[in-house]
Chains A and B, each alone.
Chain A
Amino acid sequence: MTFKTLQTAMAEQGYIASGDLAMALHLSLQLGRPLLLEGAAGVGKTEVARVLAAVQDTQLIRLQCYEGLDAAQAIYEWNYQRQLLAIRAASEDGETGRQVEARIFSDEFLLERPLLKAIRQTKAPVLLIDEIDRADEEFEAYLLEILSEFQITIPEMGTITATTRPMVILTANGTRDLSDALRRRCLYAHVPYPDLETELSILVTRYPEITDRLCAQIVGFVQSLRKQELEKKPGIAEMLDFAAALMGLGVADLTDDPAILQASLATLLKTQMDRDAIPTEIAQRLAGKAA
């Protein structure tokens, strides 16, 4: 499989990947290295993992990172209630201490969390570690062992080595600078906002019934909106919402009705400052240029 066939396979699943991204994914599959995707929010980083899982016909295991995420939620935890009950029951059955200990620290009492689950699959899954920069540095350190060795050490049970190597995708959008150690273990691809042609084909793939004229207008409008000084630039998901809104409202041409255009900007601009920055006149000018 070359990167071109991967690119085509992803396009069949409705994801238009740039050459750089397809190559990075291809290498990451071939070399068994994790892939770090960086880019602004809303450029389709998370979607890459979902589509890749579909292309590979495998399971997607997702770990959403947040501040304070720790091993108990990311890797594994013991099922304490069951352990307590088991100890009680054991004392009535007259089991020896050693037997009880061996039993309550066995697989039966282990709660798998995403990372452990990912390395114990029989078919290599796609493991998505989403927004890694939100988790704190301590968690990054946990990840290093898992990403380089694909093994997890549980003190009571020993080391669990991966049966299959999961395909790991990490995403980040620059909330925090990642450590060099983590970056070094990963392949890297930067996911930019799509260019005009890519975005056109994304829109057509998603809504085949859209007219060429409206399609070109929507994409042109969103692209020029991204060039404005905005707090939060609209991503691809927003662009698709915008298109859905316009089609739902039965708009055939962006410049037709300023009021409708202004109202549907709610799908693109998500802060008060951004709404204020694009008043009707500017929106009309941008729409006029896109036409």
Chain B
Amino acid sequence: MTLVTKFAARDPGPAARMTGFARHLRDHGLRLGVGETALAIEALCHVNAANPSEARRALKSVFTGCTEEAAQFDGLFDSYWMNGGRVKTRITPTAPNAPNEHAHSTREANAAGDPSDGAGDISAPDGGTGEADANGEGKLVATDIANLFKKDLRDIVRPDDIAEAEKIALRLGAAMRDRKSRRRVAARKGDQIHFRKAIRQSLATGGEPFALPRRHRPDRTLRVTAICDVSGSMTVYSRIFLAFLAGLMRADPRADAYLFHTKLVRITEALRDKDALRALARLSLLADGFAGGSKIGDSLNTFAGTYGRRFVDNRTVVMILSDGYDTAAPDGISDALARLKKRGCKIIWLNPLKGWDGYAPTARAMAQALPHLDLFCAANTLGDLAALEPELARL
């Protein structure tokens, strides 16, 4: 059995320890406020807090909010309360990195103040799922060496590109406003009578409904989810597409963006940075393997199985920006697209090569993908993207 962490006798008390634990969780990417800490202490009053497994369960239900967090929680709990999950205690005198006024024991200060201590085995991006890359500060330690070998996206994309792309993205978003919502709102012209208003107004005329207010189903914008290929064969076009993605993120708060080469990375959070250039800097940290080979089928399949389940629905347009040259066997592509299609979304494939004269989608990957696409277009420049407006409006 693992040992419970020993706190020094001078320790300021349970409330401070709980605050330390909440901070420990925050360091590992859980989004928690002060309210949760208070709730946690309250929750412990209702259970046998001296029993580690009861306390663990209680804190889990308070501090976690989604499947990923719930899976991560046990490790984090162990590292803080259960002596880092170790069976035997061995004192390793490490000085705490951050001064910590609440923690007087070395161990607690260590667990709470130094994110890289417990982080190694808990939030390390082992499979490179993208989640771990996107948050937490610890990743900088891991990436500053490999950084030299990466392309700096700031050299590729200029800020004025982004500004222009933003305008285009706004227009494209507006063009796709065709889905009818199912809920109704009051409107001058509508297909149904707005009873609530009618009754209210008829009071003034002694119960005679002279005016019949109406309600209708308003138009609803579709949400764009863009998946961009940044493999070697796409390098020439990456500038335009990345600028477009950055613009899209800034124009539409509900848009979502992903990169893929041999694996898939979610870049929505990174691109949403207020400073456009810093967004690109964050992006270059994420785009490990940029301009290498591409596994389109695998990446799309990963997308369909993970993020796709959460973010793609019948109000989504999935926009794939790729040339369709796959270094892996291309069989996966049509399966992945079929899976995505089942979620009710529209799929658009923008292929830079289609702009060439006499291009035929002969790459096997592309040929297999065609039956699942709602729109297959060329896009080499920002101008081309802007010209898509009427096409999108017809979707």
Contacts and interface: CB of A to CB of B under 8 A. Distances in A.
Contacts of B198: 80
Interface string A1-44: 01100000000000000011001101110110101101000000
Interface in B166-214: 181-184, 195-196, 198-199, 202-204, 206-207, 209
B97 interface: no
Contacts of A189: 61, 70
Contacts of B46: 26-27, 30-31
Contact of B33 (A68, A174, A184): A184
A88 B207 CA distance: 6
Nearest to A18: B57
A190 B67 contact: yes
A141 B368 CA distance: 42
B233 interface: no
A190 B70 contact: yes
A19 B60 contact: no
B65 A184 contact: yes
Given A26-B47, A80-B196, A33 B183 contact: no
Contacts of B195: 78, 80
B3 to A, nearest CB: 21
Interface stretch (A57-65, A97-105, A236-244): A97-105
A70 B183 contact: yes
A258 to B, nearest CB: 29
Contacts of B31: 180
A240 to B, nearest CB: 25
Given A176-B313, A183-B65, A87 B39 contact: no
B163 interface: no
A177 B61 contact: no
Interface residues of A, number: 45
Contacts of A186: 65
A184 B35 CA distance: 9
Contacts of B202: 84, 87
A47 interface: no
Nearest to A70: B183
A251 to B, nearest CB: 34
Interface in A178-213: 180, 183-184, 186-190
A175 B58 CA distance: 27
Interface in B126-147: none
Contacts of A174: 67, 309-310
A284 B287 CA distance: 46
Nearest to B184: A70
Interface in A47-106: 67-70, 78, 80, 83-84, 87-88, 90-91, 97, 100-101, 104
B338 to A, nearest CB: 10
Nearest to A29: B46
A136 interface: yes
A149 interface: no
Interface of B is mostly: helix
Given A70-B183, A175-B313, A19 B207 contact: no
B53 interface: yes
A256 interface: no
> Which of B64, B182, B184, B207 lies at the interface centre, i.e. has the most chain A CB atoms within 10 A of its CB?
B207
Nearest to A1: B46
A108 interface: no
A19 B196 contact: no
A3 B62 contact: no
Nearest to B314: A67
A84 B183 contact: no
B66 interface: yes
User: Per DSSP, are chain A's interface residues mostly helix, strand or loop, or mixed?
Assistant: helix
Contacts of A97: 203-204
Nearest to B217: A68
A177 B266 CA distance: 15
Interface string B30-67: 01010110010011001110000110011011101111
A138 interface: yes
B258 interface: no
B32 to A, nearest CB: 9
B57 A2 contact: no
Contacts of A187: 61-62
B376 interface: no
Interface in A109-123: none
A18 B46 CA distance: 19
A84 B207 contact: yes
Contact of A27 (B62, B184, B310): B62
Contact of A188 (B47, B65, B182, B309): B65
Contacts of A83: 199
Contacts of B69: 188
A69 B70 CA distance: 30
A101 B66 CA distance: 47
A188 B70 contact: yes
A2 to B, nearest CB: 7
B231 to A, nearest CB: 27
A38 B67 contact: yes
B311 interface: yes
B78 to A, nearest CB: 16
A156 to B, nearest CB: 8
Contacts of A35: 61
B64 A188 contact: yes
Nearest to B313: A176
Given A19-B57, A78-B196, A187-B61, A87 B206 contact: yes
6 contacts: A2-B47, A20-B57, A70-B183, A87-B202, A189-B70, A190-B67
Closest 9 CB pairs of A and B: A68-B182, A87-B207, A23-B57, A24-B61, A183-B65, A30-B46, A80-B195, A187-B61, A190-B70
Interface of B: 31, 33, 35-36, 39, 42-43, 46-48, 53-54, 57-58, 60-62, 64-67, 69-70, 181-184, 195-196, 198-199, 202-204, 206-207, 209, 309-311, 313
Interface of A: 2-3, 19-20, 23-24, 26-28, 30-31, 33, 35-36, 38, 67-70, 78, 80, 83-84, 87-88, 90-91, 97, 100-101, 104, 136, 138, 174-177, 180, 183-184, 186-190
